[in-house]
A and B are shown apart, each in its own frame.
Chain A
Amino acid sequence: MEARLKPRGSDRLWVLLFLIPSLFGVALGGVGSSAVSILLSFTDWNNVSPPHWVGLANYIASLKDSQFLEAVSTTLRFTIVYVPLCLVTALSAALLLNRRLPGQGFFRAAFFFPSLTSAVAVALVFSWIYAKDGGLLNRALGLVGIPPITWMGSKTIFWAVTIANVWGAVGEGMIVFLAALQAVPSLYYEAARIDGAGSLRRFFKITLPLISPAIFFQIVIYTVNALQAFEYIYMLARRQQGASEMTTAVYLIYRNGFRWFNMGLASTEAVLLALVIVIFMVLYFRAEKRFVYYE
């Protein structure tokens, strides 16, 4: 859209004044701090002594560091499980709600509410659900004679944390899908029905292509969130002295940067994580041309 007015007289000063907060925001927030992060990633800054230029040392150390590599692999594993689970659950919920049924609004609100509440409170409830003694899950399993399981133990914690995370994220995707589904013209379905297309065929030939932009959008959002997963993991998997049963990339950045104040290394890890996100986005937007249907 074209800007309409040319500032005159005192307007010029006001335009500048109105933009000053955002100019600072760009400098300190987004663009400026990205540049600083990249600079810091080449130093050994520890928040106390003056930084020294160390060149690529942090990058080489990170790529050789088994902790970092494991954190990246945990993050990727989490992403690969989390994104499809969120998508399928959110889409199923949206399809269920995409009928005019009494109580539809109530169910929609109930399904959405978890994604509005704080991860901290939700994770606290989940740690009680997963509790070995008297937790809801073990209690339910006890009814069918299964002995209590240590859900927060190293074998199951990945799944326990992932499920809690998915639970908190389904609502937002559901709302996006629901809006997309409601925008599909019912005319298409009627025409397909007259041509004798069954409901599965209608779903794959009409619904899915028409809501594919919304699905693509939500895959992007879920992936970015998954690669940056932190809050549930902090609440459910952290142990004494900053250790964690499930160290994701962001958890490692938090620990190196803000518990041990190894800020040069943490910056390097943050830049590498940003690169991973960029790689995902490039791949996604390439795939978009093939799989996403725009009218």
Chain B
Amino acid sequence: MNKGNPSRRARLASALGSGATYILLLLGLIVFAGPFLWMLATSFKIPAEQFSKSLLPHPFTLVNYERLFTSARFLWLQVFNSFQVSILSTIGQILSCSMAAFVLSLYRFRGRALLFALILAGLVIPAQVTLIPNFILFSKLGLVGTKVPLWITSFLGGAFGTFLLRQYFSALPGELAEAARVDGASLPRIFFTIYLPMAKPALAGLAILTFTGSWNELTRPLIYLPSNQRLTTLTVGLSLYQAQYAGQWSFLMACAVVSVLPILLIFLVAQRRIIEGSAITGLK
């Protein structure tokens, strides 16, 4: 077993190991970052050059991005719609989940355990089962063909957010609320001035997950706003452009860049929180 100098052998093995690791990591980088670079590079090529052999754009052009303002003039409306829906959804989840989580973790009342179980049941119910009843409800309310169904349900709590925040509130000392109550603070006051500010990290995590989830969503926008270019979200817009501008890759890639950019910015700003949050929850 122990031939030669063990520490030298170990050092050599570890150097070889690191080298092999880096080669594999670089391969991984090509696989995972490559498509984004390919998307970016194509978006800066002039349409006539999209099939060119070189991967780098030559000549470099912004003509595809200019077209986003001229021929695809609905795209910016769709960007606005996506922002609107995502921001409203985020506000809705933050408010409704934290309110429920606060009451569920701090107060004793009848049916508390049952209600929490019913809320959590949402984690295991497949989305398809809720799609049709919700569609029927919104069509009775005359809201099909508007953006309302895409965000209004976010104001009705949710399994994931309520669970996450309840865990957080339960870990905070309960004496805080008790002391505040002795001082005559009402329940909403305790919630808004003491507990909500303390839950900032968890709220930020929930906000990021809700925003990105809503920004990326395709199914419900496709159901509620399948063809109204003015009102629909960017994901549906992209799926329509895919057919409308079929084969115009340099232009389509510019559209894709626009849709990825906000998520990239959020990721760059909050990378740590997103990665740690995903590790804990296992949910995107």
Contact = CB atoms under 8 A, between A and B. Distances in A.
Contacts, number: 298
A267 B128 CA distance: 9
Given A29-B122, A101-B18, A118-B263, A11 B282 contact: no
| Interface range for A | 35 or more
Contact of A29 (B31, B130, B280): B130
Interface string A103-126: 100011111111111111110111
- Residue among B53, B218, B280 with most chain A CB within 10 A: B218
Interface in A212-250: 217-218, 221, 224, 227-228, 230-231, 234-235, 250
Given A37-B129, A93-B28, A131 B279 contact: no
Contacts of B29: 107, 110-111
Contacts of B135: 257-258, 263
Nearest to A278: B124
Interface in B19-48: 21-22, 24-25, 28-29, 31-36, 38-39, 42
Interface in B141-185: 153, 155-159, 162, 170, 174, 177-178, 181
Contact of B279 (A40, A129, A167, A178): A178
Contact of A3 (B32, B51, B108, B130): B108
A25 B119 contact: yes
A28 interface: yes
B156 A40 contact: no
Nearest to A276: B126
Nearest to B236: A120
Nearest to A30: B122
A120 B99 CA distance: 33
A8 B108 CA distance: 10
A25 B119 CA distance: 8
B132 A127 contact: no
A4 B195 CA distance: 15
B249 interface: yes
B105 interface: yes
A21 B122 contact: no
B32 A129 contact: no
A258 B186 CA distance: 47
B256 A125 contact: yes
A170 to B, nearest CB: 8
A267 B132 contact: yes
A125 B38 contact: yes
Contact of B96 (A22, A33, A37, A111): A22
A254 interface: yes
Contact of B275 (A24, A175, A250): A175
B269 interface: no
A270 B256 contact: no
Nearest to B26: A107
Interface of A: 1-8, 10-12, 14-15, 18-19, 21-26, 28-34, 36-37, 40, 45, 47, 93, 96-97, 99, 101, 103, 107-122, 124-129, 131, 133-134, 136, 139, 167, 170-172, 175-176, 178-179, 196, 217-218, 221, 224, 227-228, 230-231, 234-235, 250, 253-254, 257-258, 263, 266-267, 270-271, 273-274, 277, 281
29 contacts: A3-B109, A3-B112, A5-B106, A21-B100, A22-B99, A22-B115, A25-B157, A25-B158, A26-B118, A28-B153, A30-B118, A36-B136, A37-B132, A37-B133, A45-B136, A93-B28, A97-B25, A110-B28, A114-B35, A115-B284, A117-B260, A120-B216, A131-B249, A178-B279, A179-B279, A228-B128, A231-B219, A263-B132, A263-B135
